[in-house]
Structure 1
């Protein structure tokens, strides 16, 4: 399953990317996010592995490509799924940035998650849209 979400953020690209790399932004935009733990590799570089800790589960991130401020591409693994997420940032003008998030769920494991993906595929996109709106709000409140 693949989909694309995008949002315009009323801040310069440098500020958007700075907040994208800020773990506090994850706390503000993703429900139940607790912290990120670096596991191996050079931080924020291709091959680096981290654990994203949420209140009820963990996600394991492997950076595939980090060419910020233009692009961040990573794989995320959980016992029930594997997906990649590519985030690209484009300066619309000096005060506005377009953020595009491409998601590809390459593997879904377990009856329930497969059923949800089959019956309610829009639910996955809706969740990412919700995260982007919360991220936009957080970034735009920063001075």
Structure 2
């Protein structure tokens, strides 16, 4: 399953990248994030891995993020792996004067019958969740509003 989402954030690209690139900020825009742990000696660089733990409703989920391309401020690509799911995330950051356009190309690859079925039956839920993270980042970047406050 592949889809593209995009949003314009009303801050300059250098400020956008600084906020997005700081893992301490993830808790402010990634709902359900419980903790993260750097698994690599060179965090934030190509090949670096980070463990992420989320709680969504009653369900807990652990995944590993791997940075596969880091060419900031223009783009950054990662993969996310958890049981039954391989997610490829290609993020592009376009300078639009005092604003930044964030374009995210997402691909989900499912293994196992249950995850394949969920991807087939509920593709809109995945796109909706991706866009929600973008909206939450926009609110945090522009106004400092954190999802931990709601």
TM-score w.r.t. the length of structure 1 is 0.91
| Contact 1:38/1:51, CA 8 A, preserved across alignment | yes
Task: Output aligned runs, 1:33-52, within 5 Å.
Answer: 33-52=33-52
Residue by residue, what CA displacement relative to the aligned partner does 1:69-120 show, whole Å, maximum 9, x if unpaired?
1111011100120011011101111x111001111112x1333322221122
Higher mean displacement: 78-87 or 39-48: 39-48
> Please, which runs of 5 or more residues in structure 2 have no aligned partner?
145-150
Counterpart in 2 of 1:99? 102
- Which 4+ stretches in 1 moved above 3 angstroms? none
Counterpart secondary structure, 2:39: strand
Higher mean displacement: 2-11 or 108-117: 108-117
TM-score w.r.t. the length of structure 2 is 0.87
Displacement, 1:41?
Answer: 4.5
Displacement, 1:123?
Answer: 1.3
> Please, which runs of 5 or more residues in structure 1 have no aligned partner?
none
In angstroms, what is the RMSD of aligned CA positions? 1.4
